[in-house]
Chain A
Amino acid sequence: MKPQHQHDHKQTPQRPVGSLGVLGQLADFLDDRTGYRAVMHEALYERVPGGARWRYVWGSSLVFAFMTQVITGLVLWSSYSASAQTAWESVYYIQHEMTGGWLLRGIHHVMAQAMVVLLALHLMQVVIDGAYRAPREVNFWLGLVLMMLVLGMALTGYLLPWDQKGYWATRVATNLAGLVPLVGPSLQQIVVGGPDYGHHTVTRFFAIHAGFLPVTLVLMLVVHLSLFRKHGLCAKQPITRPDAMFWPDQVLKDAVAMLAVMAVVLGVILMPAVRAMLEGRPIVPGELGAELGAPADPSQPYAAARPEWYFLFLFQFLKVFEGWGASGEFFGAIVVPGLVMTAMFLMPILGRWQLGHRFNVAFTFALLAGIGLLTAMATNEDYAALWADRSSFADVEKLLEETENDKAKIAAHFGNDAAKIAAFEARAKKLERIRHSQSFLDAVALAKAEAARSIELAGRPERIPSAGMLELIRNDALSQGPKLFAQHCASCHAHVDPAAPEAEAVLAKASAANLHGFGTAAWMRGLLDPKQVAGPAYFGNTAHKEDDMVNFVQNDLTDAETWKPDDIEAVIAAMTAEAGLAAAGTAPAVIEKGRGLVADGERCGSCHTFRDNGVAAGSAPDITGWGSREWLVGIIVDPTHERFYGDSNDRMPSFGKAAEGSAPILTGRQIGLIADWLRGDWYRPAGH
């Protein structure tokens, strides 16, 4: 050790003579055996020519950001479960149930984005200062590789929650990888872990995200930093101030930058909480930090799919090549980015000439400006409807509808005036953009609602079934009911709150009863209302509009002698009780009275079978258990059954009855989901 000490005599602070205290002695003991003081000294007392500057902080900030990702990533790892059946579930658990999980995941998520920004700043600083020039070329190249590694981690991390957003974005990314010449398809299959997306997609992306890439990055970073130290800092020219030492002058600036980065990250995470507090809304920690969408479902379209914002420019760039087919994507996703990366790798060589250096700087700025522009374009396309005034296009919308977008008709409308037609077409194009944007915004709103419902369901006291969250969602009446209804029922039936502003328009288009609130007192009250029974919400647009029931309601029920208002209310109470949807606090005596009236052979019982009133089936639907799950399932399965409409059934298909040699239209499970949804029977968290 001794020669070493002497060798470093000028650099290493010597041990204070006669230092006292246990700590001092311990430090001496360690130094004798490790030489740590020399190492610390080497690390801290680097000369900074021209003194500490703010422009040098980006590299250190990146190292700090990476260390943050390592710390938060390792702890996330301790609770993450990589499989298609558990990835979403474990991330849900981290985000919504583990203490501080939202904060940890939020830091990891937002810091990843901060890293991309810091990368851009670091790159700009290096290029502007010409820090890539000899002898630092290799280190510049290493920096570019590091940048790609970071972007690779960002890309792979996006998938890991295995939610709709990550799933669909990754499908696109991996399909694009498949366009690489020769090896593309194999490359894609290797990354995806097989021909389809599943368990091995998650395990592989996780291994790449948390293993291969960070390990490679650390190795490269060690070389990057040691080369940086070997060549020294590339000082801003001309040097006008005295040199300083890395410690503490530059370290202070670096530390302030790190603190600022962390403050921004925390700010992004906590901003919604502050907003909620100001608006007096409760703060739900699980909703802070990183988003978690609905679990990945290959069977459900996801129109809100977008890459993370820092890849949005690539997404937009691909649109430039729309209409080029596969070669366009190959060009936009592989060739151009490849050329850009090549140009960047050539920077140190070009930079040998002053003109080349200027070109490099201009190129970098142009690149960043292009990225900024493409990002702005993508954002504008998606969110235009937020700020565009759609009402000013009402005339365009009207004309398009009237002419069914027939070019000849439109031309005729404008008297074949080319200028007017061109002006109209330009406005029609703008309207189309607003419409596209609106459908994207609708998709985002839907995605948010689906995510919220998934999270609500995951919090049930029974917890998530072992088959995973998707199974729970596929059996959730609130999630599936509207979809099944839209697909199978809505071509005839409306499902709209009569009080809603759009109700009239919706009902006008329907050709069967409005099933909103079916089984409730409000629905029954409408049916028994002489003004409504033949209206569009009930039998008005059906073959039954002049049948006995309409007749009965319009003529018999209006006879105040036989049907006192209390009687009708009692019938309503009795029928909602059949549905199991009677209002709380309905007196049992009223229900009993209503049952008597319904069963009465002079009243409802003159046609309807009800309980044991002995009316034979066939004349009218059996209304025993009307509106109950069992009754609804029954009528959806087969309305032509004699228990329901029999031969007088009007157009409604027998959804659960198999025709000769084919499967029924709907499975029993699907019919049950529709019935549950119509009855409003789905899981609600306590207190809602």
Chain B
Amino acid sequence: MKRDKTSDESAADRRGFMTKFLAIVCGGLATVPPVLAGVWMFLDPLRRRGAAATFLPVTDLASVPDDGIPRQFAVVADRVDAWTGFAAEPIGAVYLRREKGSDTVEALSATCPHAGCFVEMESQERCFRCPCHNSKFTLDGGMVAPSPSPRAMDGLECQVAKNGEIAVKWQNFYTGIAEKVARP
């Protein structure tokens, strides 16, 4: 391998491997702390976990008439957003409905399983519709094909206490997939 070189270049080359190696090592080492600290802090969100799924009181039985029509209720809970603590804040919404003569309450998450928009109820059409991509669901949350949504609306566990207080297990699910999988 024959190359045309100026004498300077040859001289520089002869400085040898060690000078170049050390220059790269020293320069590299000097940049490690800020880059490492930066990456370390930037990845902090991966360490954060959402609040564990718990039953939150939503309303009482009297507020959910047994006519099969879903009604929207706010879910209120204490919430922590990074450094700020909010006491008893609305954190989301659920639909509750009750069949004629039944004491069993069904709860549906208002979050569309397709892409996470807020599903609205169309009382005239007697169905749910997502305003983003027109996913349509029946009043009990079932799929109306064809639909961009890969699955039916997400049901939430629901408990009715003896005094009529309704509590819903508040959970978020991954969107866009056919299976209903809870977010950690």
Contacts and interface: CB of A to CB of B under 8 A. Distances in A.
Given A100-B40, A247-B12, A464-B83, A71 B35 contact: yes
A527 interface: no
A578 interface: no
B42 A259 contact: no
Interface stretch (B84-92, B139-147, B169-177): B84-92
A249 B12 contact: yes
B50 interface: no
B12 A71 contact: no
A90 interface: yes
Given A17-B1, A464-B83, A465-B85, A99 B26 contact: no
Category for how many chain B residues contact A? 35 or more
Interface string A92-111: 11100111110110010001
A623 interface: no
A72 B35 CA distance: 8
A89 interface: yes
Contacts of B36: 100
Contact of B41 (A92, A94, A248): A94
A49 to B, nearest CB: 11
B101 interface: no
A103 B83 contact: no
Contacts of A99: 40-41, 43-44, 47
A256 interface: yes
Contacts of A460: 85
A75 B37 CA distance: 9
B19 A64 contact: no
Interface in B28-65: 29-31, 33-38, 40-44, 47
B8 interface: yes
B37 A259 contact: no
B37 to A, nearest CB: 4
Contact of B33 (A107, A242, A251, A466): A107
Contact of B38 (A13, A47, A72, A243): A72
Interface in A304-327: none
Q: Is the interface of B mostly helix, strand, loop or mixed?
A: helix
A93 B44 CA distance: 11
Contact of B12 (A10, A101, A244, A262): A244
Contacts of B33: 103, 107, 262, 265-266
A252 interface: yes
B135 to A, nearest CB: 34
Interface in B67-107: 80, 82-87
Nearest to A260: B30
A104 B40 contact: yes
A458 B83 contact: yes
A258 interface: yes
Interface in B2-44: 3-6, 8-9, 11-12, 15, 19-20, 22-27, 29-31, 33-38, 40-44
B26 A104 contact: no
Interface string A391-406: 0000000000000000
Nearest to A60: B27
B41 A47 contact: no
Contacts of B29: 259, 262
Contact of B1 (A16, A245, A261): A16
Contacts of A247: 12, 20, 23
A186 interface: no
Given A94-B41, A104-B37, A256-B26, A249 B8 contact: no
A256 B24 CA distance: 10
A183 to B, nearest CB: 38
Given A90-B82, A249-B15, A9 B38 contact: no
Nearest to A251: B23
Nearest to A93: B83
B85 A72 contact: no
A45 interface: yes
A462 interface: yes
B23 A255 contact: yes
A258 B20 CA distance: 16
A45 B13 CA distance: 11
Contacts of B9: 13, 45, 245
A98 B30 CA distance: 23
A411 B176 CA distance: 92
A532 interface: no
B30 A259 contact: yes
Contacts of A465: 84-85
B85 A14 contact: no
Interface string A1-35: 00000000110011011000000000000000000
Contacts of B24: 255
A89 B83 CA distance: 7
A79 to B, nearest CB: 7
Contacts of A262: 29-30, 33-34
B41 A252 contact: no
A411 to B, nearest CB: 61
A465 to B, nearest CB: 7
Nearest to A10: B6
Nearest to A74: B38
A258 B26 contact: yes
Interface in A328-385: none
Contacts of A89: 83-84
Nearest to B29: A259
A98 B44 contact: yes
A78 interface: yes
Interface string A426-465: 0000000000000000000000000000000010101111
A75 B42 contact: yes
Contact of A72 (B19, B37, B82): B37
A175 interface: no
Contacts of A203: none
B42 A258 contact: no
Interface in A245-302: 245, 247-249, 251-252, 254-256, 258-259, 261-262, 265-266
A61 to B, nearest CB: 9
Contact of A93 (B4, B11, B35, B82): B82
Nearest to A262: B30
Given A75-B41, A248-B12, A464 B84 contact: yes
B87 A252 contact: no
A174 interface: no
19 contacts: A13-B3, A72-B38, A75-B38, A75-B41, A93-B83, A94-B41, A99-B43, A99-B44, A100-B36, A103-B41, A107-B33, A107-B37, A245-B9, A248-B19, A249-B19, A255-B30, A256-B26, A259-B26, A262-B34
Interface of A: 9-10, 13-14, 16-17, 45, 47, 64, 67-68, 71-72, 74-75, 78-79, 89-90, 92-94, 97-101, 103-104, 107, 111, 242-245, 247-249, 251-252, 254-256, 258-259, 261-262, 265-266, 458, 460, 462-466
Interface of B: 1, 3-6, 8-9, 11-12, 15, 19-20, 22-27, 29-31, 33-38, 40-44, 47, 80, 82-87
Given A252-B23, A256-B22, A258-B31, 14 more contacts: A67-B31, A74-B38, A89-B83, A99-B43, A101-B44, A103-B37, A103-B40, A247-B12, A248-B20, A249-B15, A249-B19, A251-B23, A258-B27, A262-B34
The 7 closest A-B pairs by CB, nearest first: A463-B85, A100-B40, A255-B26, A255-B27, A258-B30, A252-B23, A75-B38
